[in-house]
Every structure is written in structure tokens, then in C-alpha cells.
Amino acid sequence: MAPLTRLPSAPLAETRSAETIAQHSTTGSDTMPRSSVLHLILVILAGFITVQGADSPADLIAQADMVYMSRTLEVSLSQAIALYEGVLPNLNTLPVQSQAHVLNRLSQLCYEATMFSEGDTSVDGTLFEKGKSYGLQSLRLNTQYAEAENRNFDEALSYVTDAAALHWTASNWGKLCGMNPIVGLMQQGGVLALFSQCVQVNPKYWGGSASSSLGSLLIMSPSALGGDREAGLALVENSITLDPSYLSNRMVLAEYWGFTYSFFGQLTGVRDAELIERELAIVLESTDNTWPFWNNEAKKLAETLLARLRDLTD
């Protein structure tokens, strides 16, 4: 049965041109017009958007792209995943650029879906695995990467210029490493390589967060496994310069440089209380809404870190 109300649909070339998809993949996007948000929320809450077998891949992508922009609501994020996954049976019929768009969005949304839970749960682990898998599938759309992946991962990555695929594959894989520290120590080289390539091909992608992510890994990793605290700190600080509106970079600075941790990542103390207080104050007082989903998460984390700091210093 067709939904009572549907978002506008049209051929993919009309709803999302190759130029538009390419622009999104190189810059990242987290906003939409306010009127569209209101309309979308009303449609979602009414339960009118459904994944229909009769919808073409272009229809599903158009609907998913619209729902995606209101994903601060968990129901919207889940609906976006369902719509993009509805494209997968016909993914190979689409141009490579459109395939990458779908897979990169799924990798990203699997990662973001875990932010609605408290801590890293088993369900989160499943989402991270899916997100990593979608990201790797996107990377393999590059034939040079696919040919070299099993032979030499670093060489394979040198052929990749898709910042979104690099970033979200690394993000999901990195969280999996964090959930299993022993395995993570053996696999984090791959995560470092992915973030490093992302920084090289497009340092400003997604608020410069590849730099802060790479920096946090270098700060936390022992030197024998590629860690370098000073280089990591420089990367995190540079990420804030790249996009001051992306508040999560400041949270990385506060969390990973302000506090100290053991070899396996357990919190051990405070390195720089003044820095923590400064960065948390900037985040909590900010009214910047350039990145609504991620800045909202940054503010939540700021409250958590503030409580942590008080526990350790009172």
C-alpha cells in the first residue's frame, strides 16, 4: 500500500545531482531549512513515510536525504537508515557516485545511532560493525583500492579520495577497537591510516573532525604503536582552527588532553584542569547551531566531563 503522504520524488538526476552529491561528500552537511524541518517532523510523526517495495532507488534516496536532516530525533535517524537500506537490493544499478552516497550515509548513520544509548552496548557494537562494513564497501567502489586492499592496506588507501568513506569507516572501526582494547591495539594501525588519509585528502571534511580523531588516537596510543602526544595535540588544536563551529573538536581536546589515561584507556587523573574548564565553558555557552546534531552531543558530553572533573578535583 502506498503511503497517504509522500515526500516529493523524482529521478535521481533531478533530486540530487552528481554535483550536489560530490559537494556534500567533500564538505559534510548537518543542516536544512527550518520550514523543511517542520514539514518533515509532521510527516514522520504522522507515520506516513514508509519504505515501499514499489519505490525506485531514486525515490528512496530522495526520501532518505530529507529524513536524514532531522536525525536529531531518533525516529528520524532510524527511518533514514531504513530508507537508505531499502536501496541496497538495487544498489548496483546506480552510478558509482550514488552508490557511494548511500553507503557513506549508512556508515555515518550507524555510528550516529549509537549516540542515543548510554555507553557502548552490544547493540552499539552491532551498529559499529555494520557501519564499518558499509564504509569498507564504499571504499571498494574504488577499483584501485579494491585491487590493493588485501595486498597492502596503506597502498590501497593512497588511491582513495572519498573523505566520507574514509572518515566513517575509521570512526566505526575505531569505536570497535575501543570496545575491545586488546584487539584494538592490534587493529588501530588501520584506523590511524584511514584518518590520516582523510586528513590528507580533505582536512575540512565534517568540521575537521578527522584531525581531532587522529590526534586523540596519537595522544592515547603508546609510542611503540605509533603514538605521539605532541603531534596528536597539534592535530586536535588544528581541528578547532579548521572549524570553530564544530564543538566536538573542543570536547576531544578537553577529554583526551585534559585528562590522563592508562595503557588500556582507563581514566587515571587530570593533566590540565584549566584547559578542561575553558573548553567546557566555550561549548556550554555556545549558541552556534551550524552542526545541530553534533553540537548537541558535544554539550551533553561537556556536562559529563564537568562532573568527572569535579569528582577528581574536589
What's the pLDDT at 12? Answer: 29
**Cβ neighbours for 116, distance < 8 A, ≥ 6 positions apart:** 74, 77
Residue 226 has a pLDDT of 86
pLDDT > 90? residue 269: yes
More confident residue, 46 or 163: 163
Q: Of 118-127, 168-177, 293-302, which range is least confident?
A: 118-127
Average pLDDT, the chain: 87
| Mean pLDDT to the nearest integer, 154-164 | 98
What's residue 30's pLDDT? 67
pLDDT at 16: 33
> What pLDDT, on the 0 to 100 scale, is given for residue 223?
87
Q: Which of 14-23, 211-220, 305-314 has the lowest mean pLDDT?
A: 14-23
What confidence score (pLDDT) does residue 17 get? 34
DSSP letters of the chain? ---SS------HHHHS-HHHHHHHHHH------HHHHHHHHHHHHTT-----TTS-HHHHHHHHHHHHTTTTSHHHHHHHHHHHHTTGGGGGGS-HHHHHHHHHHHHHHHHHHGGGSSS--HHHHHHHHHHHHHHHHHHTTSHHHHHHTTT-HHHHHHT---HHHHHHHHHHHHHHHHHSHHHHHHHHHHHHHHHHHHHHH-TTGGGGHHHHHHHHHHHHS-GGGT--HHHHHHHHHHHHHH-TT-THHHHHIIIIITEEE-TTS-EEEES-HHHHHHHHHHHHH----SSHHHHHHHHHHHHHHHHHHHHHH-
Domain boundaries, the chain: 1-94
Q: Quick check: 26 pLDDT over 60? A: no
Write the pLDDT tens digit of every residue in 243-262. Answer: 999 999 999 999 999 999 99
Give 72-114 pLDDT, tens digit per residue: 999 999 999 999 999 999 999 999 999 999 999 999 999 999 9
List the Cα angle 4/7/74 in 5-degree steps.
95
**Which residues is 267 bridged to in the sheet?**
261
Question: Does the pLDDT at position 225 exceed 90?
Answer: no
**Over 70: is that where the pLDDT of 135 sits?**
yes
Mean pLDDT of 264-271: 92
| CA atoms of 119 and 124, how far apart (whole Å) | 9
- Are 210 and 195 in contact, with CB atoms under 8 Å apart? yes
Supply the pLDDT for residue 21.
39
